[in-house]
Amino acid sequence: MKIHPMPVYKNYMRRNLFPPFYVAHFFIPSLHILYKMKIALIGYGKMGKTIEQVAIKRGHEIVLKISSANKQYTDAAHLKLADAAIEFTRPESARENVLKCLEAGINVVCGTTGWNETVEDACQFAINHNAAFLHASNFSVGVNIFFEVNKLLASLMNSQPEYSVAIEETHHTQKKDAPSGTAITLADQILSNISRLKSWGLNNADNSEILPITAHRIENVPGTHKISYTSAIDTIDIIHTAHNRDGFALGAVLAAEYIAGKKGIFTMKDVLGIK
């Protein structure tokens, strides 16, 4: 790995002051890298551009930006300009993009959803090539905390059969996969904790053993996920609402910082120190 030292903050230290970059890394264990990274962005749509802004603000350099117009540059020669790659594209191209990066020896953070059936292949490929790989259905710090709340509530509701549970998710119209990767993660967590449920289904509320997921696509909605437990007496809702893409972008950059210099398979729980 290529290491690029950040400036030394001697003047701040003498005055017992800390610049914002140092403060974040000092107080948050997962934000421990005080080095400038060279990052390749695989996917340069709205999400890629937001990641670029966040990465630059955190002191990193974007050395490669790949879109549909210049896919030919996802070759080893160009990828090796980077310390890490952040991949946000489409389900049909994610696997190929990830494998190319790993084959070039570049650690990869991937936020593309809708290719779950082959993610395990990418994990094994990363191990075989002595690289690091982190895939997440959602990089938002808030959503990953929401995941933990979801698991806890589901475990409590396992002994309350009078409550039926449903998931509702809403995203912008550019999001093609449905249900969202985040909704699938939430559903899998619920299925692991509520024994009376056997599977999840999209827009399927007719079978008591199937967890229904309703997906909406509305213009300019970054992402909202709601879990509802409903009985004849009351309803319990937990909701996460994203106000913009910044939280997802920050989480992706934190993940890239976390896997810098590492080898193996990681999750956002590792990045955030969640046990």
Which residues are marked as active site?
171, 175
Using alpha carbons only, how large is the chain's radius of gyration in Å? 20
Question: Distance (Å, rounded) from C-alpha 188 to C-alpha 193?
Answer: 9
Place of tokens 């994610």: 94
Question: Distance (Å, rounded) from C-alpha 270 to C-alpha 144?
Answer: 11
Q: Rounded to 5 degrees, what angle do the CA atoms 228, 230, 231 make?
A: 165
Start-to-end CA span in the chain (Å) = 28
Q: What is the dihedral of CA 204, 206, 208, 211, to 10 degrees?
A: 10
* CB neighbour class for 229 (10 Å; exposed up to 12, middle 13-18, buried from 19): buried
CB-CB contact of 46 with 245 (8 Å) = yes
Question: Distance (Å, rounded) from C-alpha 229 to C-alpha 217?
Answer: 23
Question: Distance (Å, rounded) from C-alpha 248 to C-alpha 215?
Answer: 20
Structure tokens at 274: 């969640």
Place of tokens 């540059």: 73
- What b/e readout covers 13-23, taking b as 16+ CB neighbours within 10 angstroms? eeeeeeeebee
